[in-house]
Amino acid sequence: MAHVLAVNPVPARSQMGSSLGFHIILACFGIAFAAVIMTAEWIGIRRGDAAAMLLARRWSKVMAVLVAVGAVSGTVLSYEMGLLWPGLMGRFGAAIGLPFSLEGIFFFLEAIFVGVYLYGWRRLPPWAHWWSGMPIVVFGILGALSVVAANSWMNSPAGYTLSHGKITRVDPVSVFFNASTPYETAHMVLAAYMVTAFLIAGVYAVGLLRGRRDRYHRLGFGIPFALGAIAAPLQVMMGDIIARFTATNQPVKFAAMEYVAKTARDVPEWLGGIFINGHVYFGASIPAFDSILVGFSPHTRVIGWDSVPAAQRPPLVTLIHLSFDLMVGLGFFLLALAAWQGWWWLFHRRLLVTAWFLVPSALGGVAAVAAMEAGWIVTEVGRQPWIVYHVLLVSNAVTPASGVPVTLGVILALYAILTGVSIGVPMIMSRRWRQETPAEEEAEQVPYGPAPAAP
């Protein structure tokens, strides 16, 4: 790969990273919020539970706001694919574009059914309304599959034929179902459920801590927490499987995740630590445990980053390793919370409401977000210097256009505003719900939703 132009990809990478890091949180709500709402509505209809129904109705309004902001940040990303990475899109757009097109369809459908669901609250019979929300759940997951498949393709490129640097044949099915797709998509969908569920539960944990212990707040905490608690063990298991897949599929990325400098057997597992000049400082190591995790035997050979020339190794191994450790650690923290509540429920059939449990639970959402962001750092920084693994270098894909530092600054400023909107709007709404009269709540307008009924 010859460097035709020496373009510094760092501003473009930072811009893509921050846009993606922002959008992914909203995307989680797009994927999983509907499932939380449907559960509440199901309980509401099935048991005639007014508190659950009210939660479902209010949550659906918050969902509308978040989906609206997510639509914007998603549009930004599709622009940026071209604005920042014309070298990728010009060469491989024909392959990577297909999953994106499908995602477009699924998002369109999701947005339409968000509209139907919001319109239907007082216009459809209860079960018909419940079913009108199901497409949001299904299309949310299908949309996630499509867009994550595009990212998986960058990790495991497949389904195309190159001749003289130009794509001459594309097999859409192999592009979509590349080797990484099943692992990455499952990991991301579970992550979306955890992020959404623990963030919502966290809001009501704060309410419970403040002494609002009515049924409304218990359900508002319990319903999402239960979904998160189901996803947490599945996620930890999935993570273990993916790590092993990465050890064979992208050994250099795995080496950076686990500080494996040299290919060896009896490789220790490092917990924490900073890698400087071939040494790990401030870390705890468990002898041979990395080998055991990779191949269930201490004698398993683990490939180190010395297997490739220095120019093909990812930068910032300390960042990759610590992000990986953070993700795993937070995953186990959430699993422990889930197990604690599960245990209590099994024997007492009641929600655990001690501060010892609620305070960490209130932080569970932030932990889930941090874990997910750390995971994306691991997979994206770990793939460097490649944009398409072993096929195209980031430096050959980045735009030669000047001005990226400027757009980076603008994007950061704008996303600060958007973050304010996506946190601020639900907060204003919740304050209003507590203070206003029901009639005012009735007349409330949200994106996608119907205009207040004319008399």
Q: What is the footprint of other proteins within residues 126-185 (CB under 8 A)? A: 126, 129, 135, 160, 167-172
For 353, what's the count of Cα atoms within 13 Å in the CB-facing half-sphere? 19
Give ∠ CA 216-35-96 in degrees, rounded to 5: 145
Identify whether the C-beta of residue 152 lies closer than 8 Å to the C-beta of residue 136: no
Site mask for other proteins (CB under 8 A), range 256-285, x = bound = ------------------------------
Residue 48 or 287: which CB sits closer to other proteins?
48
Q: Shortest approach of other proteins to residue 405 CB, angstroms?
A: 12
Residue 1 or 276: which CB sits closer to other proteins?
1
Q: Does 92 bind other proteins (CB under 8 A)?
A: yes
In order of 137, 176, 318, the CA distances from 143 in angstroms are: 10, 12, 33
Q: 168 CB contacts (<8 Å, ≥6 apart)? A: 161, 162
Interface residue with other proteins, options 10, 18, 81, 389 (CB under 8 A): 81
Residue 169 or 279: which CB sits closer to other proteins?
169
Residue 25 or 102: which CB sits closer to other proteins?
102
Q: 414 CB contacts (<8 Å, ≥6 apart)? A: none
Interface residue with other proteins, options 286, 359, 401, 423 (CB under 8 A): 401
Interface residue with other proteins, options 113, 193, 254, 324 (CB under 8 A): 113
- Of 309, 213, 302, nearest to 259 (Cα)? 302
DSSP calls for 187-237 = HHHHHHHHHHHHHHHHHHHHHHHTT--SHHHHHHHHHHHHHHHHHHHHHHH
**Listed ranges 32-40, 72-80, 195-203, 270-278: which one lies at the site for other proteins (CB under 8 A):** 72-80
Residue 287 or 424: which CB sits closer to other proteins?
424
Q: Does 89 bind other proteins (CB under 8 A)?
A: yes
Interface residue with other proteins, options 153, 193, 216, 254 (CB under 8 A): 216
Q: Please, which residues bridge with residue 109 across strands?
A: none
CA end-to-end span of the chain, whole Å? 69
Q: Does 447 bind other proteins (CB under 8 A)?
A: yes
DSSP calls for 427-451 = HHHHHHHHHS-HHHHHT---TTSPP
Exposure string over 391-425, b if 16+ CB within 10 A, otherwise e: ebbbbbbbbeeeebeebbeebeebbeebeeebeeb
Query: Which tokens in the block code for residue 178?
Result: 């590349």
Residue 284 or 339: which CB sits closer to other proteins?
339
Interface residue with other proteins, options 38, 65, 243, 368 (CB under 8 A): 65
As a whole number of angstroms, the distance between CA 232 and CA 227 comes to 9
As a whole number of angstroms, the distance between CA 98 and CA 170 comes to 10
**Residues of this chain, 219-248, that bind other proteins according to CB under 8 A:** 222, 230, 233-234, 237, 241, 244-245, 248
Q: Shortest approach of other proteins to residue 442 CB, angstroms?
A: 5
As a whole number of angstroms, the distance between CA 443 and CA 440 comes to 5
Q: Does 20 bind other proteins (CB under 8 A)?
A: no
Residue 215 or 262: which CB sits closer to other proteins?
215
Residue 385 or 450: which CB sits closer to other proteins?
450
Q: Shortest approach of other proteins to residue 200 CB, angstroms?
A: 17
Q: Shortest approach of other proteins to residue 61 CB, angstroms?
A: 10
Q: Does 102 bind other proteins (CB under 8 A)?
A: yes
As a whole number of angstroms, the distance between CA 12 and CA 266 comes to 39
Interface residue with other proteins, options 134, 206, 288, 429 (CB under 8 A): 429
Residue 124 or 206: which CB sits closer to other proteins?
124
Interface residue with other proteins, options 17, 86, 329, 385 (CB under 8 A): 86
What single DSSP character describes residue 250? S
Q: Does 297 bind other proteins (CB under 8 A)?
A: yes
Q: Shortest approach of other proteins to residue 52 CB, angstroms?
A: 9
**Residues of this chain, 326-385, that bind other proteins according to CB under 8 A:** 342, 345-346, 349-351
- Interface with other proteins (CB under 8 A), residue total 115
- Of 252, 244, 248, 247, nearest to 390 (Cα)? 252
Q: Shortest approach of other proteins to residue 341 CB, angstroms?
A: 10
- Of 147, 136, 137, 134, nearest to 73 (Cα)? 147
